[in-house]
Amino acid sequence: AQRVTQPEKLLSVFKGAPVELKCNYSYSGSPELFWYVQYSRQRLQLLLRHISRESIKGFTADLNKGETSFHLKKPFAQEEDSAMYYCRRRGSQGNLIFGKGTKLSVKP
Amino acid sequence: GAVVSQHPSRVICKSGTSVKIECRSLDFQATTMFWYRQFPKQSLMLMATSNEGSKATYEQGVEKDKFLINHASLTLSTLTVTSAHPEDSSFYICSASWGAHPGTEAFFGQGTRLTVV
């Protein structure tokens, strides 16, 4: 079965520290991968897509096919980055699969 | 960004009754809408995909007769939980998309908290 694994339920860092939210996927040709963010009391929203290679709010994510990973990184975390982060992939059948999410807490 | 609105945001119903949840795309035409269910402390689980004017495609394990989906227009999809039971209590979220690759760019509703008593 195609899977998306986010191994950490909770990640806590101090403001200004680097942050890496891990995401691993089960191998399947050329996956399409995304990161979504949900701030407290707000709706889920798209953060970035691997195909666009963009940097949003200082976050970047590189697709590593060798390690089947799509980790989300930011060099200097801010308090406003505290949120739930979901990794998501589009499967070979076109289906959409979410990871279980990682709660990022950035402490002052 | 595009706005997707769900209504109601919270609903409490008695066991055995049916509940309808609406999902509207407010400023764009959504060719495809998705319905998700989220259990506490778990990820979103895709329930079904609906394309305007056609029958919804349900994920494995989701009862189509229990979760009725209607996508009658490009701006409205509805999810009806029929004969609701306490185990149907959950957070239901819809998303809407357009274009050649539905789901690759999706905008989410704020979710509906259903409690069946």
- Quote the CA–CA distance of A1 and B13 in Å, as a whole number: 36
Mean pLDDT of chain B: 87
Which residue did the predictor score with more confidence, B57 or B17?
B17
What DSSP element (H or E) covers A83? strand A83-90
Of B42, B93, B107, the CB nearest to A100: B42
Residue B113 to residues A92, A104, B24, B87, Cα–Cα distance (Å): 31, 23, 17, 13
Residue A1's pLDDT is what? 62
Mutation target for B interface from A38, A43, A45: give the one with most B CBs within 10 A. Answer: A43
* pLDDT, tens digit, 9 for 90 and up, residues A69-90: 999 999 999 999 999 999 988 7
Q: Decide if A98 and B103 are in contact by the 8 Å CB cutoff.
A: no
B84 and chain A in contact, CB less than 8 A = no
**CA-wise closest residue to A80 among A6, A8, A19:** A19
Q: What phi, psi does A52 have (nearest 5°)?
A: -90, -15
pLDDT at A55 over 90: no
Q: Decide if A45 and B108 are in contact by the 8 Å CB cutoff.
A: yes
B108 and chain A in contact, CB less than 8 A = yes
Q: Decide if A43 and B111 are in contact by the 8 Å CB cutoff.
A: yes
DSSP secondary structure letter of residue B60: T
pLDDT at B7 over 90: yes
Distance from CA of A22 to the nearest CA of B (A): 15
B105 and chain A in contact, CB less than 8 A = yes
Residue B66's pLDDT is what? 96
